[in-house]
Chains A and B, each alone.
Chain A
């Protein structure tokens, strides 16, 4: 990416405050309230450096968790949690079981890495489940938990079709990626995207991101990576079951399950009305039967 012309206005190495509209320089997009922003995570560019995890922890002042080795390739983070809002997964595609690999396919196809994050769904099941209004949609079309309102009911946790939201045992509130709500308000690119050294994580306006993502898929197909596809862009796997599109979407090269993503997730709230009505109809039917069976002499 070429250096933005505005970068020349800030040659100093120390700053007294944030650069106005810094995201224009670092991500090529100006952050304007009322527009939709998100992430495009291109897994073919990920090198598994975990700079996104570190940057996220640092900016959001999140504590470390699981200070141990998992034995699952280089993934010692494990999963997204209340204190981990970016998680790089590692999938080794060589060998079989305990058998040692004797041959390898060319290119970066033997070791998959993917930086997972909250998808900031268009129809977000966590937000739709939240009974207190703690979860809300921001002016940047992202989904954020208001920590001063959340009462830790935990209903957003099973509502999420991607296993993102988590309750903290420390403060008893739900936590997840805020898409750096505070940074967006200050005109800054989210920490993970800014820290990503290969532009595997790209931040921008959803429309722009979807356009460039489709171009990237075509480019990869032309270069022989025929298995590349988008997950979470409109009309692709991930954007299923009334969820609408995902504001944080991905480019994958294996089936979604390999990355621990559901192939066809659904919007949990669409089960509310059928369930409630069927239950009420059953009770009404039984009540009608009771009127007959309980009929007395009077």
Chain B
């Protein structure tokens, strides 16, 4: 889109070519950094407002994704029917229940008028991922709770009819797992459907990444649970899947990084603190280290307990750091007019 007439280059305090400002803020290492938008800004003031979301929402994104994916894996393990998965099915269902218990308080604490939390259930709005998510969380909470309760009743030996509670859990886990898939990705759609540069730049990749990270963290957690219960065959199969999910996440992350760079929204990720959290936490600790440890473990012939634990714990920690970094670096990207103005140049808009 062009602007009719002659548009003069802006001079004065807005002229960035006269007074170059480091995109890194205080440290000023701009050698490897290429800024996509180098035009005028309004006294360096942000064009859009950062979200008021903080660690509470980021923690919920991690917890909700973990719970949703744990329900999916528990359901798949139950459908497989191998008795080796008895502990995995129970642990997965209880992990999902724990997530649905921990999630809503985090979300309600994130509201600025928490006493009105129930207004989230006042309407359904298909254009709002937060509305969609409220209903996904409600459905997941209900199904996961019934599934876990039925499982507990069956374990306690309650049998009003032949295997009544076991069948009930087996039935209810299907809608719970479907809602669990929604739980692990809707939070990415929630971030993507904003005007925050880092979140909006790659809507598809962000959701794919969150989904893969949730599956990786849940399978890592359940593989540890299987190891604790000495179900080594189950643990090793879960580790194989965990490695695949982590590899998927790493590949998506590579693509996302390229898109961030091309769209000019990665300013914030180059700040020292986010570079450490993103590169060191989300990427190295969350994907590279677990993959390396898995390969090492496979090459050594007999799988080492320690390496398995280290890899799984690193992936779970990295998965949480990924959500926190995307949250805070995203808010920072909204404070940087260069990021938003780069993203909203004609022909570049997501």
**Which partner residue on chain A sits nearest B83 by CB separation?**
A298
Of the stretches B121-129, B146-154, B315-323, the one at the interface is B121-129
Q: Are B49 and A165 in contact (CB under 8 A)?
A: yes
Q: A92-B12, A154-B112 are contacts. A283–B215 as well, Cβ < 8 Å?
A: yes
Q: Are B340 and A262 in contact (CB under 8 A)?
A: yes
Q: Are B185 and A282 in contact (CB under 8 A)?
A: yes
Partner of B127, one of A269, A274, A296: A269
A125-B344 Cα distance, complex, nearest whole Å: 15
A40 to chain B, nearest CB (A): 17
**Interface SS of chain A: helix, strand, loop or mixed?**
loop
**Which partner residue on chain A sits nearest B107 by CB separation?**
A153
A84-B80 Cα distance, complex, nearest whole Å: 60
A78-B117 Cα distance, complex, nearest whole Å: 32
Q: Are A297 and B84 in contact (CB under 8 A)?
A: yes
Contacts of A241 in B (CB 8 A): 349
Size bracket of the B interface: 35 or more
> Interface 1/0s, chain B 35-53, versus A by CB < 8 A?
0000111110111111111
Q: Are A298 and B10 in contact (CB under 8 A)?
A: no
A132-B40 Cα distance, complex, nearest whole Å: 37
Q: Are A257 and B349 in contact (CB under 8 A)?
A: no
Of the stretches B195-203, B258-266, B271-279, the one at the interface is B195-203
**Which partner residue on chain B sits nearest A153 by CB separation?**
B111
A294 within 8 A of B: yes
**Which partner residue on chain B sits nearest A237 by CB separation?**
B1
**Interface SS of chain B: helix, strand, loop or mixed?**
helix
Q: Are B7 and A255 in contact (CB under 8 A)?
A: yes
Of the stretches A3-11, A18-26, A156-164, A191-199, the one at the interface is A156-164
Q: Are A293 and B240 in contact (CB under 8 A)?
A: yes
Contacts of A164 in B (CB 8 A): 49
**Which partner residue on chain A sits nearest B240 by CB separation?**
A293
A163-B334 Cα distance, complex, nearest whole Å: 9
> Interface 1/0s, chain B 74-108, versus A by CB < 8 A?
00110111111100000000000000000000000
Partner of B194, one of A93, A167, A268, A296: A268
Q: Are B53 and A283 in contact (CB under 8 A)?
A: no
Contacts of A131 in B (CB 8 A): 120, 123, 125, 128, 130-131, 134
A295 within 8 A of B: yes
A184-B248 Cα distance, complex, nearest whole Å: 55
Partner of B3, one of A255, A279, A286, A291: A255
Partner of A166, one of B49, B113, B184: B49
A297 to chain B, nearest CB (A): 6
Q: A263-B341, A286-B211 are contacts. A274–B116 as well, Cβ < 8 Å?
A: no
B208 within 8 A of A: yes
Size bracket of the A interface: 35 or more
Q: Are A286 and B43 in contact (CB under 8 A)?
A: no
Contacts of B194 in A (CB 8 A): 129, 155, 158-159, 268
A291-B185 Cα distance, complex, nearest whole Å: 20
Q: Are A271 and B200 in contact (CB under 8 A)?
A: yes
Q: Are A263 and B345 in contact (CB under 8 A)?
A: yes
Q: Are A163 and B13 in contact (CB under 8 A)?
A: no
A91 to chain B, nearest CB (A): 7
A43-B50 Cα distance, complex, nearest whole Å: 27
Q: Are A227 and B5 in contact (CB under 8 A)?
A: yes
A64 within 8 A of B: no
Partner of B49, one of A160, A255, A274: A160
A84 to chain B, nearest CB (A): 12
Of the stretches B14-22, B162-170, B293-301, B302-310, the one at the interface is B14-22
Partner of B185, one of A152, A225, A276, A290: A276
Contacts of A171 in B (CB 8 A): 113
Q: Are A269 and B203 in contact (CB under 8 A)?
A: no
Contacts of A271 in B (CB 8 A): 189, 192-193, 200, 203, 350
Contacts of B5 in A (CB 8 A): 221, 225-229
Q: Are A129 and B127 in contact (CB under 8 A)?
A: yes
Q: Are A265 and B195 in contact (CB under 8 A)?
A: yes
Q: Are B117 and A283 in contact (CB under 8 A)?
A: no
Q: Are B113 and A152 in contact (CB under 8 A)?
A: yes
B244 to chain A, nearest CB (A): 6
**Which partner residue on chain A sits nearest B136 by CB separation?**
A276
Known: A151-B116, A278-B203, A286-B244. 11 other contacts (CB 8 A): A70-B43, A128-B128, A150-B113, A157-B49, A163-B46, A172-B113, A261-B47, A262-B341, A275-B129, A286-B215, A296-B85
**6 A-B pairs (CB sep. < 8 Å):** A131-B125, A229-B5, A261-B47, A278-B204, A290-B72, A294-B241
Pairs of residues from A and B, 7 with the lowest C-beta to C-beta distance, nearest first: A296-B82, A279-B185, A152-B112, A279-B207, A172-B112, A260-B42, A151-B116
